[in-house]
Amino acid sequence: MDFSFSEDQKMFQETLRDFLTAEHTSATIRELWDSETRRSSELWQQLCEIGIMGLLVPEEYDGMGMDEVDLVLCLEEMGTHAFAEPVIPTLVGTRLLADLADKSLAQEWLPKVAGGEAILAVQYPESPFVQDAHVANLLILQKDGELHALTPDQVKLTRQDSNDPSNCLFSVDWTPSADTLIAQGEEAAKLSAEAFDRGALAAAAQLLGCGQRMIHMACEYASERKQFGVFIGTFQAIKHMCSNAQVQVEYVRPAVYRAAFSLANNSVNRSVNVSMAKLAAGEAAHTASRVSMQVHGGQGYTWEQDLHLWMRRAWSLDLAWGSKQMHSQRIASIVIDQGVPTAPLGESWLA
């Protein structure tokens, strides 16, 4: 039993932090918002050089063959920096391709993913849209319980602008065929369920980083802004708002880390553990955004102030990979209707 991360895992996070701090500022985000694709191939290349995209790729496909526990701190860090490049769908697609019974797609695509030459898009039934379909080299789509893999020339995309300019959503028109089919029946159901949980965990980790950052922004602002001759951070109303948000965010942390462990080890409680992480993270990030905006006063309501870059991330990540409502209902049906092996009835309760 050990709830801590290894030095390597922490170092990986630090490397990413240094990179994002230097190369991905709020100015970068605003520039990307004004660009054609809102995506940066340079950033993607650098990310791959750090090794993030090859992390989940099995070693036989030139990757590092690591797991979600190795990854989760990095995902959190991306949330901290409102980094929205298509990491989540590519990671989800990576594991999906690696887990297919037929290894030909994995052989073709995963070395490219690890090398930064391919981006994957993954559709899931809970959303009518596909994220980052415009930059994907391979799209994994679902219809009638079947999984299909299509190249960009096989789909027609319609852009659906989101309130979060960093979130690139598309409707996808496509026709399934025997050529595009990659899994069906039980195999497809299993892969699709795992993909959904993996995406939800990744979004939860990003929400965690994002929520924490918004609290820190509030505290920084409250330590600089004066009213009535004193820093507004000295007012207890401001302190207590920030503290309440911090309590909520702090308790998301172990839930997210545990969900990563559950995924990496495919534990029996994987889905409920992931849903708890996603719901708790969504709620905490929501609180953090409300509090941070209030602390910023009128400044918080401007386009100029950077806070909204994170608020918009929090809103879109909350809806991605199952909304709060969806996960809350899933927890209720598992906890109330099915019954989970809760503490301390079974040896696996914590994992």
Partner 1 sequence: MELRFTAEQEAFRKEAREWLEANVPKEPLPSMDTKEGFAAHREWEKTLEKGRWGMVCWPEELGGRGADLFDWLIFEEEAYRVGAPLRVNQNGIYLLGPTLMEYGTEEQKKRFLPPMASSDEVWAQAWSEPNAGSDMAAIRTTAFLDASGENYIVNGQKTWASRGCWADWGFGLFRTEEGSERHKGLSMMVFPNDLEGITISPIEQLDRETGFAEMFFDNVKVPVKYLLGEEGKGWNVAMATAGFERGLMLRSPARYQATARKLVDLYKEHEDTAPVSAREAVAKCWMKAEQYALNTYRTVSFLKAGGKIGSEASLNKIFWSELDIEMHELALSILDAVGEILPYAPAAKGLVGHWLDGYMFALAGPIYAGTNEIQRNVIAERLLGLPRK
List of residues contacting partner 1 (CB under 8 A): 1-6, 69, 215-216, 219, 222-223, 230-231, 233-234, 236, 238-240, 242-244, 246-247, 250-255, 257-258, 261-262, 265, 276, 279-280, 328-329, 331-332, 335-336, 342-345, 347-348, 350-351
Which residue do the tokens 């893999």 mark? 149
- Integer CA distances (angstroms), 170 to 127, 159, 165, in order: 11, 5, 13
CA distance 2 to 292: 34
Minimum distance of partner 1 from residue 345's CB (angstroms): 7
CB of 181 to partner 1, least distance (A): 37
Shorter beta-carbon distance to partner 1: residue 112 or 330? 330
Q: How far is the CB of 127 from partner 1 (least distance, A)?
A: 21
Q: How near is the Cβ of 141 to partner 1 at its closest, in Å?
A: 31
CA 34 to chain centre: 23
**Measured from the CB atom, is 94 or 292 closer to partner 1?**
292
Shortest CB 2 distance to partner 1, Å: 5
102: left (phi over 0), alpha (psi -120 to 50) or beta: beta
Q: Is the torsion defined by CA of 240, 324, 38, 115 positive or negative? A: positive
Q: How far is the CB of 315 from partner 1 (least distance, A)?
A: 20
Residue 155 or 252 with smaller CB distance to partner 1: 252
The 3-class SS string of 327-339 reads HHHHHHHHHHHHC
How far apart CA 223 and CA 234 sit, in angstroms, is 8
Q: Identify the CA nearest to 277 among candidates 341, 328, 347, 334.
A: 328
SS3 230: strand
Q: For partner 1, which is the closer residue by CB, 120 or 259?
A: 259
| Shorter beta-carbon distance to partner 1: residue 120 or 263 | 263
Is the Cβ–Cβ distance between 259 and 273 less than 8 Å?
Answer: yes
Which of 211, 233 has the CB closer to partner 1? 233
Q: What is the distance between the alpha carbons of residues 1 and 95, in angstroms, rounded to a whole number?
A: 26
